Structure 1
Amino acid sequence: MKKGAMKAVFGVAAAAFLAAPLVSFAGGTIAGKVTYAGKAEQKEFSFSKFPNPKFCPKNPNKSLMDGDKRFLKTIEVAKDGGLKGAIVSVVDIEDQAFQDGFKGTDVTAEFCEFLPFSGVVVNNKNFRAENKDADPDDPKSTLGVLHNPHSFVVKGSSSATGFNIGLAKKGDKLEKPVTFRGGAEKQGFYRLQCDQHEFMQSFFLPVWNPYHAVVKDDGSFEIQGVPAGKHKVVVWHPFVGKGKLNEFEVEVAEGGSATLKAEIK
């Protein structure tokens, strides 16, 4: 073949290569919805039985209160059965790089409420809490409303204290490692409660890879980048089924999307 013809063929091939779409897969997606067939539940408290009975009702989320009553919404269910606050997690993948790089878990105390209500933690990685409350109308609390975050490692019917530290002033922070022992990170969860205001509670599922999600308010979720193959997925809620892990099997195709419709009881 002549040199000119070779250049022409090469040029056509190069043009075709550049025109072709560049396809790159990085796993697949698990998407779906968590539903609950039961009814919504809540625990009831009286503001007058706890410190700061005038400040705590200033919480902008008025669904949490009715007069002197303060509610801890333990189970919230949408009209179509979507379960709020659930965690979905792929549990058959150990990702040490993810665990090493995990930056920690953050919680804030705002208007006598721990936010978020549910989330994730990684064993031996830090848990941080910050007090954002102060009451300018109370001479004793102008610098800060005292909160006392108290964490527990929960496994079955037993629990053990992780830390118990008072945060007296607005802006006070704590940072302590989450510590699960005896395999509790595979079977238990992490609970946070304020020793000053019992209705302030949050709950966290231990994870060991990035393939997890906190569902949206309607129970829907999406987990991207999941390696192709069959996987064991757990769906967890701290109050549904007494916090048991609900197991499902999902098969993910490379570059594809798998659907998980998880009804838990």
Structure 2
Amino acid sequence: MKKGALSVVFGAAAVAFVAAPLLANAGGTIAGKVTYAGKAEQKEFSFAKFPNPKFCPKNPNKSLMDGDKRFLKTIDVGKDGGLKGAVVAVVDIEDKAFMDGYAGTDVTAAFCEFLPFSGVVVNNKNFRVENTDADPDDPKSTLGVLHNPHSFVVKGSSSATGFNIGLAKKGDKMEKPVTFRGGAEKEGFYRLQCDQHEFMQSFFLPVTNAHYAVVKDDGTFELKDVPAGKHKVVAWHPFAAKGKRVEFEVEVPEGGKADLKAEIK
């Protein structure tokens, strides 16, 4: 393990770390960039094999399609190797006030896409999905394009259903608590997929405090007001490093900034 005063870089393998006692100070900032050592990857689907083959291609994000082909960008690499969709989080702080006050996670089904692609959840707090799709040109879908949000708690190679609920009309909403059991929240993640349109997928990292961020398109991030001291930080992406969290040890100076170059292989 190599350590710098303010930055640490690891490979894809996780490392064990025992956090030092937190200091009750003003705290500092962790800033940096998540990069991916490999190439961009995507899964390919044919609109013709799924319902609403004329409506779904109306998605304004044209980078997701080519003619009848719909792409799920499993690994999307931006400028200078920045890993889009990665989540960075401090994981050695359990903030009960934050968790108790967490308002829940919101997802929108829009033009046959779940938005956002990635985010966070809090164990036992609500997860909400709203269907905003309707197709006035399809007699069967004028009131709504049927979406069927199906959630999974993923841990390693196993997954278990959280909920499976159909949203048939535009404006239909569902709300269910996220439930991780057996310590899965410390290793696993939450996955959402539409049973009607397989290419609609979203992914969420469980967190226990407010010190997290979904990186910008260039892979950069900033975590503010992190208590001074040593911390364990993870960089995570649902497909990079096979969905495993990559751990980093970071020393946060009081009133200062720690730089973290988080490379995922």
TM-score (norm 1): 0.90
- Give the CA deviation at 1:254: 1.0
Matching residue's letter, 1:227: P
User: What amino acid is aligned across from residue 224 of structure 1 in structure 2?
Assistant: K
Letter in 1 for 2:34: V
Cα deviation, residue 79, structure 1: 3.3
Deviation at 1:132, TM superposition (A): 0.3
2:225 aligned partner, one-letter code: G
1:183 aligns with 2:172: no
* Aligned twin of 2:6: none
The number of aligned residues is 241
SS in 1 for 2:100: helix
**Moved segments of 4+, more than 4 Å:** none
Which secondary structure state, in structure 1, belongs to the residue aligned with residue 79 of structure 2? Answer: coil
Q: Which one-letter code corresponds to 1:95 in the other structure? A: D
Structure having the larger proportion of residues in helix: 1
Q: Any idea what SS the aligned residue of 1:80 has?
A: helix
Letter in 2 for 1:70: R
Query: 1:97-121 CA distances to partner (integer Å, 9 max, x unpaired)?
Result: 0000000000000000000000000
User: Which sections of structure 1, spanning at least 5 residues, go unmatched?
Assistant: 1-24
1:207-260: CA deviations, max 9, x gaps? 000011100000000000000000000000000011001000110011111100
Alignment of 1:28-177 (within 5 A): 28-177=28-177
TM-score for both structures, normalised by structure 2: 0.90
CA distance in 2, matches of 1:254, 1:141: 56
Which residue pairs with 1:219 in the alignment?
219
- Deviation by residue 1:20-54 (Cα, 9 ceiling, x = unmatched): xxxxx731000000001100000000000000000
Which structure has more relative contact order (CA 8 Å, sep 6+)? It is 2
Q: What secondary structure, in the 3-state scheme, does the structure 2 residue paired with 1:242 have?
A: helix
Partner of 2:201: 201
CA distance in structure 1 between the partners assigned to 2:196 and 2:52 by the alignment: 9
Q: Which structure has the bigger radius of gyration?
A: 1
Distance 1:137 1:28 in 2: 54
Q: Report the 3-state secondary structure (helix = DSSP H, G, I; strand = E; otherwise coil) of the residue aligned with 1:51.
A: coil
Q: Which residue identity does 1:75 align to in structure 2?
A: I
> Unaligned stretches of 5+ in structure 2?
1-24
Instruction: Report the Cα distance in structure 2 between the residues aligned to 1:79 and 1:149, rounded to whole angstroms.
Output: 32
Amino acid at match of 1:132: T
Give the distance between the partners of 2:235 and 2:63, measured in 1 at CA.
26
Q: Which position in structure 1 is the counterpart of 2:248? A: 248
Q: Secondary structure of the equivalent of 1:98?
A: helix
SS class of match (1:92): coil
CA apart distance, 1:78 = 1.1
Equivalents in 2 of 1:37, 1:156: separation in Å?
Answer: 22
1:239: which partner in 2?
Answer: 239
CA RMSD, Structure 1 to Structure 2 (Å):
0.6
